[in-house]
Amino acid sequence: MSGPDARGRRTWPVRLMRATAVLVLLDTLAQAALAGMFVTGDLDLLAWHSANADVLAALTLAQAAAAALLWRRLDGPRWPVAASIALTALISVQQGLGEARVLAAHIPLGMAVFGCATALVCWAFAYRPRPVPVTS
């Protein structure tokens, strides 16, 4: 099969990875904004920050699944799967540190989460799957 239909079928895992990576990055940014507004005095936003951490955890799991699909279906690299799983683990650690109010570790780890999420978005948009070999 050739043409746009075959290409669309082949690239859907890439589009899924890009979408989930962007959602993770945007939600990470929302977490930082909620934390910043809480720190400046809006105490009600701590509950929002805590609830959004669960959303971010779910999004990182979805990103890990998307990375695994890209790896398995398109023979993509394995490291985005590992990075996405590590990011999911970091979010879990973040939640524990936040609940325990260990801000000396929670804030720097939040920066690391943001950096990792940014790197995965950059990679997802730069990644190009290998061409399908033409058979006759």
pLDDT in tens, 33-54: 999 998 888 888 999 999 999 9
Residue 117 makes CB contacts below 8 A (sequence gap 6+) with 21, 24, 25, 28, 87
- 132 in a domain, yes or no? no
Nearest C-alpha neighbor of 60 from the set 116, 100, 105, 104: 116
- 133 in a domain, yes or no? no
- 106 in a domain, yes or no? yes
Find the angle CA(39)-CA(20)-CA(3) to the nearest 5 degrees: 155
- 135 in a domain, yes or no? no
pTM: 0.88
Domain encompassing residue 55:
4-126
- 79 in a domain, yes or no? yes
Q: Which two tokens stand for residue 108?
A: 């720097």
Q: Are 120 and 80 in contact (CB under 8 A)?
A: yes
Split into its structural domains, the chain has a count of 1
CB atoms within 10 A of CB 109: 17
For 86-124, the pLDDT digits (tens) are 999 999 999 999 999 999 999 999 999 999 999 999 999
- 116 in a domain, yes or no? yes
